[in-house]
Structure 1
Amino acid sequence: MFREFRAEVEAALADALAARGLPTDDLGIEEPPEDVPATLASSVAFRLAGEVGAPPPEIAAEVAEAVDPEGYEYLARVDSQGPYVNFHAGEAYLADTLVAAQDGEYGRLPDRDTSVVVEHTSANPTGPVHVGRARNPILGDAIARVLDFAGYGVERHYYVNDAGRQVAVFTWAYETFDESDLPKPERDRADYDLVRYYRKGNQFLEDADPEEVEAAEAEIESIMRGLEAGDDETYERVERVVDRVLSGMRDSLERLPAEFDAFVKETEFIRDGSADDVVDRLKDTEYAVYEEDAWQLDLSAFGIEKMLVFLRSDGTTLYTTRDLAHHEWKFANYDAAVTVLGEDHKLQADQLKAALEILGNDTDQLSHAIYSYVNLPDGKMSTRRGTGVDLDDLLDEAIVRAREEVEKRLDSRIRDDELDEEDVERIARQVGIGAVRYDIVSKQPTKAITFEWERALDFEAQSAPYVQYVHARCCGILEEAESRGIDVGAIEFGGGEAAADLDPSVLDAPEERDLLRTIARFPAVIEEAAEDLEPHVVATYTREFAETFNAFYRECPVLAAEDERRRDARLALVNASRATVANALSVLGVEAPTSM
């Protein structure tokens, strides 16, 4: 309803300004300040002050007087307070919100008939996912979820670097060293098993005699050349290692969860000739120069001083060359492309975009979501002989810590056998992994953050458990109603004759109306997050929602309401709240527990 109300406000304000010959290009419509009691406000008076030659409060009063709310479904009245023009929604707005939010899919926007490919994570397939890159799959998966909920047709892709030197070293090492030369794997999974070969190979190249290293380098170079030439046998040798490592990495990522529709391999664009086609076309452009034994692009006309190498002197392509072919494939198959990258890849992203323009592509199709890295917490996570902290370590510790918090809060229910071991484990997993994911996705991507266990798992603060508890509380209220013989399904709007008698106007307490207004905003929050590729906007909304719901819960008894009409209306409001917070958490990739 909020989106419809905003459209009415825009139309009414634009008409009032146009009737007085005033510009309508910037209406200044925004959420009102806390001390302004309105559904929406406009700061247009600030902009018009210089043009009209009057103070903003005077202009705001005149504009409010000029706006005619007649004929609009939701716009009830307009007034001013100080420099703001205030727009107030009527009863129909709140009633329709309550109706709409009974739908389990509440907040999902209509189909836009627009396809988007979201590429994220894409860590090199050389071993387990390192926690230092955890923000990429968390942010990338959340962006994909937001776009999907906003009506886009979304595919999630992992771009596999299976043609670089690291993979060649890995393949050589796997074929060279014996199991007996390696330490015991840290976990019983393919990526942990095979990474031992990669580490052994790199150690050998650093420490072995020069003659042995020279022989090894020759074999590594042979693998790289075989890939570049599209040699089937070489491809199969590399694939044998890469695919097994990826299977383990997927297990780790699915715990977040972060799932993918396709794993697109770099070698595909070598083998189908598209990388060579990119090279030929780039050579023919005015930006191509041959310097320092390599073909490069001079991108200074695009404000980029660093040259972009796209072909080595030996005729082999580079990662960026293949990625250019990859992106042209994206443009041919999707309406838009989003790539999630760490801040250390910003230069490469700018170079890629410039090169794509040189190749004649419409780069308006491409968006980059750039993020800063997460500083890790102190804790019990093992660095395992200096190899770093894996994502699995972080998630394991999150579950352990969450279980400690859950057991403290559920002690009496565990002792009374209301919850068994499986229940406790489920809640600990939902809360623990949800806490990690929520804490990371809730921050603006470009801001560096330090992950802190105490904050992430604080049930009383603005954290995942704080929001998850709202969903569990809603479920508990609805379950209790059912146990008392109240058919909650029957009081949902559209659920039958009983539903037709439900009167939303009895929800007249300030806390009830605040909650309805907050629920009404949810679809607009989804729209904003999708347009800006910023899922943290949804996380901010969930915290505000939780605070508003908790105020309602404290002040407005549901099952102990004064009469049945008010009880049923509040149950409908609780059901609307449950759907809203469940969908908001789902968009963030955080589970919504039914009990906590």
Structure 2
Amino acid sequence: MFLSLREEAERAVADGLSALGLPTDDLGIEKPPEDVDAVLASSVAFRLASEVGRAPGEIAVDVAEAIDPGEYEYVERVEPQGPYVNVLASEAYYADTLDAARDEAYGHLESTGERVVVEHTSANPTGPVHVGRARNPIIGDAIARLLEFAGHDVETHYYVNDAGRQMAVFAWAYETFDEADLPDPEREKRDYELVRYYRKGNAFLEEASEGEVEAAEAEIASIMQGLENGDEEAYERVERVVDAVLAGMRESLSRLPAEFDEFVKETRFIRDGSTDELVERLKALDEAVYEEDAWQLDLSEHGIEKNLVFLRSDGTSLYPTRDLAHHEWKLESFDQAVTVLGEDHNLQAQQVRTTLELLGHDADPLDQVLYSYVNLPEGKMSTRAGTGVDLDDLLDEAVTRAREEVESRLDTRIRNDQLDEADVERIARQVGIGAVRYDIVSKQPSKAITFEWDRALDFEAQSAPYVQYVHARTCGILAEADLEPDDVDPAVLETVEERDLLEVIARFPAVIEEAAEDRQPHQVATYTREFAETFNTFYRECQVLSEDRDLSEARLALVAASRHTVANALSVLGVEAPDSM
């Protein structure tokens, strides 16, 4: 309803300006300041003051008087308040909001018909997912969910590096060393088991004798050359370790959860000839140079100082070459392509976009979301064998800490057998992993963050448990009432707290629309905090069940609308909405 009201407000203010012979190019329709009593307000009078030589307050009065509210469904009246032109909503606005939000699908926008691919995570399959990179799958999964809510047909992809030197080293090491030469794995999981070979191989290349290293490097080079030449045996050797490690990584990522529609391998673009064909077109560009035994693109005239190396002297391609072929495929296959990248890939993102434009592509459908990495406070989590903190460590710790918090809060209910072990475990998982996701996704991606347990698991502050508890509370109210209100009278919802809650509910689809356009899921997290505060105020001030049946049914309908709104908002963020806490 908010989207419709905003459209009507824009038309109304434009009509008023036109009637006064004033320009309508910038209407300034926005959510008003807290001290302005309206659903929407126009600040157009500020802009026009210097143009017409009059005070903003005088202009606001004239614009408001020139508008006929009777021409609009959701505009009750238009009033000047200082320099603002306030738009107050009609009873139909509140009634239709209540009706729309009682649908479990509330917040989903109409289909756009656009196919969008979201590529995220894409960590090299050399070992377990590290916590520093955890922001990528969390942001990427939330963006995919957000775009789907906004009506796009979304696919999520993981781009697998299975053709570079790292993977050749991995395949060689796996075939060279025995299990007996390796330390015990940190977990009984395939990525943890195989990463030992990769670490052993790299240590060997650093410490072995010159002759041993030369022999190893020759074997590694033969694997890389075999991949470039389409040698099936080379593919199988690399695929053996890649697929095993990916299976373990996928298991960890599914705990977030972060699922993928397709794992797109680099070797796909070697095997189908795309990379070779692309290399010939790159060589033909004016920017192509052969320097330091490699083909490169000199992009300095395009504001990029570092050359893009795309072919080695031995004829083997590099990651950027294959990634360019990958991006050409995405541009051909999808209407929009979103890639989530760490901030250290900023140069790569610029090189890819510029090169695609030089090749004649329209790069506008490409959208690269850059993020800063996640840090943990020193000493807050242990590291094993000097390898850092893995995502599995973080999630295990989250569930453990959440369980302790849940048990302390639910002690009486546990003792009275109202909750069994499965209930406690479920809530601990929902709260713990929800706290990790929410704390990370609620920050603007470009800002560096340090994950703090006390903040993330604070039931009283702006955290996932704080918002999740609102959903659990709505479920509890509706279960206790044991009443499904059908034909309710929304006009009885007339207190400030009830109207404020309806107004926040009404804004949810607009939040989805704006956040999707900006590729910024943290805007949804900000909304959930505002929603939770508004609902809690309503709950504190308005008794839901009373002897007044009409009022009780209307308030129950408002609670049901709240449940759908907060559940769907949390769903966009990838955070579970517990029925009880």
| Cα distance in structure 1, aligned partners of 2:377 and 2:41 | 42
Q: Which of the numbers 482, 493, 516 marks the counterpart of 1:507? A: 493
Identity across the alignment (%): 75
1:104-133 alpha-carbon deviations (Å, 9 max, x no partner) = 000000111000000000000000000010
Partner of 1:554: 540
Partner of 1:494: none
Judge conservation of contact 1:376–1:450 (CA < 8 Å) in 2: yes
Q: For residue 430 of structure 1, what is the amino acid of its counterpart? A: Q
Partner of 2:517: 531
Q: Which of the numbers 547, 560, 574 marks the counterpart of 1:575? A: 560
| Cα distance in structure 2, aligned partners of 1:48 and 1:302 | 40
Q: Secondary structure at the match of 1:125?
A: coil
| Cα distance in structure 1, aligned partners of 2:75 and 2:547 | 31
After the TM superposition, which residues 82-121 of structure 1 pair with which residues of structure 2 at under 5 Å, given as runs?
82-121=82-121
Judge conservation of contact 1:159–1:266 (CA < 8 Å) in 2: yes
Partner of 1:169: 169
Q: For residue 574 of structure 1, what is the amino acid of its counterpart? A: V
Q: For residue 520 of structure 2, what is the amino acid of its counterpart? A: E
Q: For residue 539 of structure 1, what is the amino acid of its counterpart? A: A
| Cα distance in structure 2, aligned partners of 1:102 and 1:377 | 43
Say yes or no: does 1:237 pair with 2:222. Answer: no
Partner of 1:589: 574
75-84 or 152-161: bigger deviation: 75-84
Q: What's the CA shift for 1:369? A: 0.7
Q: What's the CA shift for 1:505? A: 0.5
Q: Secondary structure at the match of 1:367?
A: strand
Q: For residue 242 of structure 1, what is the amino acid of its counterpart? A: V
Partner of 2:382: 382
Partner of 2:205: 205
Q: Secondary structure at the match of 2:78?
A: strand
Partner of 1:465: 465
| Cα distance in structure 1, aligned partners of 2:398 and 2:429 | 8
Q: Which of the numbers 522, 545, 550 marks the counterpart of 1:565? A: 550
1:213-246 alpha-carbon deviations (Å, 9 max, x no partner) = 1111111111111111111110011001100100
Q: What's the CA shift for 1:43? A: 1.3
Judge conservation of contact 2:331–2:365 (CA < 8 Å) in 1: yes
| Cα distance in structure 1, aligned partners of 2:20 and 2:360 | 46
Judge conservation of contact 1:377–1:453 (CA < 8 Å) in 2: no
Judge conservation of contact 1:299–1:308 (CA < 8 Å) in 2: yes
Q: What's the CA shift for 1:302? A: 2.2
Q: For residue 511 of structure 2, what is the amino acid of its counterpart? A: V
| Cα distance in structure 2, aligned partners of 1:319 and 1:54 | 61
Say yes or no: does 1:151 pair with 2:136. Answer: no
Say yes or no: does 1:313 pair with 2:298. Answer: no
Q: For residue 73 of structure 1, what is the amino acid of its counterpart? A: E
21-30 or 225-234: bigger deviation: 21-30
Say yes or no: does 1:221 pair with 2:221. Answer: yes
Partner of 2:333: 333
Judge conservation of contact 2:20–2:66 (CA < 8 Å) in 1: no
C-alpha distance 298-20 of structure 1, shift in aligned 2 (>3 A): farther
| Cα distance in structure 2, aligned partners of 1:164 and 1:52 | 65
1:306-358 alpha-carbon deviations (Å, 9 max, x no partner) = 21111122221111110111011111111110000111111110110000001
Q: Secondary structure at the match of 2:364?
A: helix
Partner of 1:495: none
After the TM superposition, which residues 418-567 of structure 1 pair with which residues of structure 2 at under 5 Å, given as runs?
418-482=418-482, 486=483, 488=484, 491=485, 499-500=486-487, 502-559=488-545, 561-567=546-552
| Cα distance in structure 1, aligned partners of 2:79 and 2:303 | 49
Partner of 2:303: 303
After the TM superposition, which residues 339-358 of structure 1 pair with which residues of structure 2 at under 5 Å, given as runs?
339-358=339-358
Partner of 1:496: none
| Cα distance in structure 2, aligned partners of 1:100 and 1:379 | 49
271-280 or 256-265: bigger deviation: 271-280
Q: For residue 563 of structure 1, what is the amino acid of its counterpart? A: D
Judge conservation of contact 2:177–2:197 (CA < 8 Å) in 1: yes
Q: What's the CA shift for 1:15? A: 2.0
Q: For residue 142 of structure 1, what is the amino acid of its counterpart? A: A
Q: Secondary structure at the match of 2:171?
A: helix
| Cα distance in structure 2, aligned partners of 1:205 and 1:421 | 50
| Cα distance in structure 2, aligned partners of 1:30 and 1:360 | 39
| Cα distance in structure 2, aligned partners of 1:269 and 1:429 | 40
1:279-306 alpha-carbon deviations (Å, 9 max, x no partner) = 1111112221222222111222322122
Partner of 1:413: 413
Judge conservation of contact 2:120–2:136 (CA < 8 Å) in 1: yes
| Cα distance in structure 2, aligned partners of 1:351 and 1:17 | 47
Q: What's the CA shift for 1:562? A: 4.1
1:130-159 alpha-carbon deviations (Å, 9 max, x no partner) = 001000000000000000000000000000
Q: Secondary structure at the match of 1:85?
A: strand
Judge conservation of contact 2:338–2:367 (CA < 8 Å) in 1: yes
Q: What's the CA shift for 1:449? A: 1.1
| Cα distance in structure 1, aligned partners of 2:448 and 2:22 | 43
| Cα distance in structure 2, aligned partners of 1:450 and 1:562 | 50
Partner of 2:32: 32
Q: Secondary structure at the match of 1:87?
A: strand
Q: For residue 105 of structure 1, what is the amino acid of its counterpart? A: A
1:46-86 alpha-carbon deviations (Å, 9 max, x no partner) = 21121111222222222222222222110111112222111
299-308 or 400-409: bigger deviation: 299-308
Partner of 1:3: 3
TM-score, normalised on structure 2?
0.99
14-23 or 422-431: bigger deviation: 14-23
Q: Secondary structure at the match of 1:337?
A: strand
Q: For residue 134 of structure 2, what is the amino acid of its counterpart? A: A
Q: What's the CA shift for 1:377? A: 3.0
**Which ranges of structure 1 fall in alignment gaps of 5 or more residues?**
492-498
Q: For residue 465 of structure 1, what is the amino acid of its counterpart? A: P
| Cα distance in structure 2, aligned partners of 1:450 and 1:24 | 45
Judge conservation of contact 2:117–2:154 (CA < 8 Å) in 1: yes
Q: What's the CA shift for 1:380? A: 5.2
After the TM superposition, which residues 251-270 of structure 1 pair with which residues of structure 2 at under 5 Å, given as runs?
251-270=251-270
1:507-537 alpha-carbon deviations (Å, 9 max, x no partner) = 1111111000000000000001100000000
Partner of 1:370: 370
Q: What's the CA shift for 1:378? A: 4.1
Judge conservation of contact 1:126–1:170 (CA < 8 Å) in 2: yes
Partner of 2:57: 57
Q: State the aligned residue count.
A: 581
1:445-475 alpha-carbon deviations (Å, 9 max, x no partner) = 1111111111100000010000000000000
